[in-house]
Structure 1
Amino acid sequence: MNWGKGIMIVMGLFIVFIGVLVSVLAGQKVDLVSEEYYKEEIAYQHEIDAMHSAKLLDSLVISQQDGQLIVQFAKNIEADSIVLKLWRPNNQQLDQSFSVTGTHVFLIPLNTLQQGMYDIRCEYWTEGKNFLQKQSVLIK
């Protein structure tokens, strides 16, 4: 075999590799953060302000214990309403949303969540002021 045939074989293998790579990557499911992404992007400054306000309070603690995801809010925070969203970046069907009222500790059974990374978004209102905290958690 001469060097010309070797180059053609290597080029053929490279083309097959690129074809397989493109077909595998094209088959991956990619969810957008939100269906109304552009509308939410315009209102992002409000979210930044709410996150800054919440950072000063440092009122959210998330832990896993005894088969439950424990979300604790500071006892000195008397929120009018709390919305807790668990967002799964790679699968929109696994997203969950909860309304929390009248408690400073919220429990979510781990068997209702699939293993993997979740972004937790806790938004609450106190005396008309908006607060927002975000945190990521790995469910094992």
Structure 2
Amino acid sequence: MKFKFTWAHGIILALVSFIVFICSMVFSLEFSENTFDLVSDDYYQDEIYYQKEIDAANNAMNLLEKPQIFVDKEVGIEIQFPKEFSSINTMGRFQLYRPNSKMLDINKNTLDFEMGNKIIIPKKVLEIGNYILKLYWKKNNINYKMEIPVEWK
């Protein structure tokens, strides 16, 4: 007896192939070793204050002298603030955000100015990879924010 391939067989073959494809995609994502961390645990609350962050970023963009970031393999990451900002008149914080792992984030809730207007993130706390330096500071009741990509090698 000879098998005859009809359009009904084609539809069934297409549906079964599609189901196998979808199941393989779901299982490959489910059992992959990648982690998918949220950017923030309180992202709904953060969304409410997002306009303030936009204003702070615009304030930083309008500065004549902006903080400068230097990557030194011997020391670490150095943040150099302009002379008008100091530990007396400036408060702030920074976050060294690692997009692929929340465990490698570095958060500092105070800006500890060393030797003038410098902040140093020592190399011993840094892992090789890409970071985003989120710098928040306030002077004379004006908020500032900068986000700078940093590559640590």
TM superposition shift of 1:115? 1.1
Are positions 1:48 and 2:59 aligned together? Answer: no
3-state DSSP of counterpart to 1:40: helix
Gaps of 5+ in 1: 5-11
1:114 matched residue in structure 2: 127
- How many residues are matched? 136
CA pair 15-63 structure 1, distance change in 2 beyond 3 A: farther
Query: What's the offset of the Cα at 1:21?
Result: 4.4
Map of 2:8 onto structure 1: none
TM-score, normalised by the number of residues in structure 1: 0.80
Q: Point out the structure with the larger helix share.
A: 1
Contact 1:81-1:101 within 8 A present in 2 as well: no
Give the alignment's TM-score, normalised by structure 2: 0.74
What do the CA deviations read for 1:88-115 (whole angstroms, capped 9, x no partner)? 1111111111221344111122231111
Say whether residues 1:75 and 2:75 are aligned partners.
no
RMSD: 2.6
Identity of aligned residues (%): 32
AA paired with 1:101? D
Superposition map of 1:7-26 within 5 A: 19-26=23-30
The answer to whether the Cα contact below 8 Å between 2:73 and 2:123 also exists between their aligned partners in 1 is no
